[in-house]
Chain A
């Protein structure tokens, strides 16, 4: 059983993704990573405070990692939590479907044999 730290749990990731502005921020960081708040703010029709607030939610979910470089704080996209959700949720269900089809195939072939 894979455990999740309260610092980076699924709830926070799903909540962070539930907002279109935050998904838009992730898309912008996917295009170009390591950006400052000022750069990100210039692409959004939103106050600096609003962008900061959204970035904080993304940071708390572990989807954005902020690193200091000299006087600047650069925001990086951290895709790992998404991958873990994929492994935990999406793989599980698609695997199940594939396994069910494989079972069906085996049973049908057995019947026709």
Chain B
């Protein structure tokens, strides 16, 4: 198995059969995010991104840079759920929702500015974001979270 240094700009893209509004809801409704985002409840306002674990612990807390429902959300990322990762520099996550003409949307998640956060980069890459996005897709398309 070849290994690589985790990328400082990571791009994840997938089609989801849902409306832009449903996807936006899927990202910003804490009851919904708890079902696919490692049980994290995301509380997102135009100013602030707050992620809480199932026990109410703060897993992420930082500014929202762009808030344009239901098209684009950009916020700071800090991995406060792990002391090693929390000590690293903040990075940035962008969500872009583009409606297609076949009843689907293209969702692109870009996690960048990871230059000062190599451990975070490694921990979110691969299975990290993919598991979250695959779970979001399944939930939106079937109403059932991935078991």
Contact = CB atoms under 8 A, between A and B. Distances in A.
A80 B9 contact: no
B81 interface: no
B18 to A, nearest CB: 10
Interface residues of A, number: 26
B4 A31 contact: yes
A2 interface: yes
B146 A78 contact: no
A84 B100 contact: no
User: Max chain B CB contacts within 10 Å: which of A27, A33, A78, A80?
Assistant: A80
Given A2-B142, A7-B15, A62-B13, 19 more contacts: A3-B17, A5-B17, A5-B100, A5-B104, A8-B15, A27-B2, A31-B2, A31-B4, A32-B4, A33-B7, A34-B7, A34-B9, A65-B13, A76-B11, A80-B12, A80-B130, A81-B14, A83-B130, A87-B146
B113 to A, nearest CB: 13
A6 B102 contact: yes
Q: Is the interface of A mostly helix, strand, loop or mixed?
A: mixed
Nearest to A31: B4
Contacts of B75: none
A2 B126 contact: no
